[in-house]
Amino acid sequence: MTDTIDAQELKALVQSVFSPTPEDRHLLLMVDVPDDTLPDTDLWCTRRGLAQEWCGKLDAVKGELGLDSVRLLTYPNVHSNNADLPAWGVFVETDLENLTTDKLAVMDNRVAIEDVLAKVQIVLAPTQLSTTAPMKLLARKHRFRAATMPGFTPAMIPALRIDYGEVNRRVNRIKEEVTRAEALDVHFTVDGKDRYDVHFDLRHRAGHASGGRFPTMGEAGNLPSGECYIVPYEGEGEETSQSEGVLPVQLNDEVVIYRIARNKAVEVLSQGRLSAGEAQHIKDEPAYANIAELGFGVLKDFGLGPVGVTLLDEKLGLHIAFGRSDHFGGAVGVKDFSSPAAVIHIDRIYIPETAPRIQVDLVRLSMPDGGTLNIMRDGRYTIF
């Protein structure tokens, strides 16, 4: 497999992911651009070049897809993952590798991003910062569908070629079970000796399948994809959330140990530089402490491995996210953070390549009838 994708493969991808209909006339690619606060990187520059290349290739086959237009919209980055999009952008389809927010700011052809989204039907967003949260909300509002591709790199192209029919079967199997369940327990071992257990309240919640297909207007999600996710009950109703326990997370070489109560990280029990930073973060930004997602990625069984980018790596196994949840059906949104720039939804991934000190011993669902179902043991799924 190569790290390039040709026009016919891009056409097949659009057909597979979006199932275009005669009503689909306009496809939009979106990329964010760097500034002094968030400087450019080699991969970011490469990704903008990739978007420019894809725009040209898709434009060449737009007639075969039944489209009237394929355009590329650039916009100033918003400095954090899953923050709301800016009000404006600029259509720029050349020299994207050298584009910055300062250069955009002096252009006189600004357009309102929401006005553009209201007129398109299909969106591909290979951005530096994740747009998944705002795009889910905007897709429902303006009736388009979108594949968000934050941090996409050429190394991920093989993940665009796998059997998404089987991927969908697996993620929907998990979705059925987590939706039926009332609770989920995870048992971890750290460094082969220290046991930690955490209980998540799944009452009043439904699971969601993200299998890399968005055929219905109003849908948005990640591509590459291959996960089921559910937001634990956050206690926004009359009942208190029953999520509680101790959650280990490996950050670089350090394992940070959080005490969870009422679905929030309320204390950091471990010592270390990163532990101290996390303790300060949950104190300064209580919305960050929210357990926002329990995710179950399935792509490891398809021969894929981590590439160092969350977009793909989280789809390889169990992951647990902190922060914003409203885009996934939860209650914590932009209003709950101290500022729009502080909004975050960040995934912590439990696979040996990214968290070698942590073993996922068991993931068990508790059902309303009192029964239980093990869905993962020793880091591998047991229900397929």
Q: What is the mean pLDDT of residues 345-366?
A: 98
- The answer to whether 366 and 346 are in contact (CB under 8 A) is no
In this model, does residue 287 exceed pLDDT 80? yes
Please state, in angstroms and as integers, the Cα–Cα distance from residue 21 to each residue in 71, 142, 256, following that order.
Answer: 19, 17, 48
Report CA 304 to chain centroid distance, whole Å: 17
Each domain of the chain, given as residue ranges in start order, spans: 7-159, 165-381
**Percent of the chain residues topping a pLDDT of 70:** 99
CB of 258 within 8 A of CB of 240?
no
With 0-12 / 13-18 / 19 or more C-beta atoms within 10 angstroms meaning exposed / middle / buried, residue 22 is: exposed
Residue 73 has pLDDT above 60, yes or no: yes
pLDDT of residue 4: 86
Q: Residue 71 — pLDDT band, cuts 50, 70, 90? A: very high
- Mean pLDDT of all residues belonging to the chain: 96
For 135-178, the pLDDT digits (tens) are: 999 999 999 999 999 999 999 999 988 888 899 899 999 999 99
- Residue 335's Cβ-side half-sphere holds a number of Cα atoms within 13 Å equal to 4
User: If you average pLDDT over residues 295-313, what whole number do you get?
Assistant: 94
Tell me how far apart the alpha carbons of residues 156 and 2 are, in angstroms, rounded to a whole number.
10
Give the pLDDT band (50/70/90) at residue 93: confident
Alpha helices in the chain (DSSP H): 7-18, 42-60, 62-65, 101-105, 113-117, 132-142, 164-180, 273-284, 310-313
- Per-residue pLDDT at 1: 41
Coil, strand, or helix at residue 265?
A: strand
- CA nearest neighbour of 327 among 141, 180, 163: 141
Mean pLDDT of 82-105: 95
- pLDDT score of 42 more than 60: yes
At 230-259, the pLDDT tens digits run 999 999 999 999 999 999 999 999 999 999
Question: Mapped to the 3 state alphabet, what secondary structure does 273-303 carry?
Answer: HHHHHHHHHHHHCHHHHEEEEEEEECHHHHC
pLDDT band of residue 179 (cuts 50, 70, 90) is very high
Q: What is the pLDDT of residue 3?
A: 75
Specify whether the CB–CB gap between 289 and 322 falls below 8 A: yes
What is the pLDDT confidence band of residue 336, given thresholds at 50, 70 and 90?
Answer: very high
Tell me, what's the pLDDT at 172? 96
- 141: Cβ contacts below 8 Å, ≥ 6 apart: none
State the average pLDDT over residues 303-324: 95
What single DSSP character describes residue 377? E
Residue 2 has pLDDT above 70, yes or no: no
Backbone phi, psi, residue 154, to 5°:
-55, -25
How many Cβ atoms from other residues are within 10 Å of residue 31's Cβ?
Answer: 27
What value does the CA radius of gyration of the chain take, rounded to a whole number of Å? 21
Residue 304 near residue 234, CB atoms below 8 Å: no
Q: What is the pLDDT of residues 189-238, one digit of tens each?
A: 999 999 999 999 999 999 999 998 899 999 999 999 999 999 999 999 99
| Predicted pLDDT of residue 161 | 84
Q: Assess whether the previous peptide bond of 224 is cis (omega < 30° from 0).
A: yes
**Ordered DSSP codes for 124-155:** EE--SS--HHHHHHHHHHHT-EEEE-TT--GG
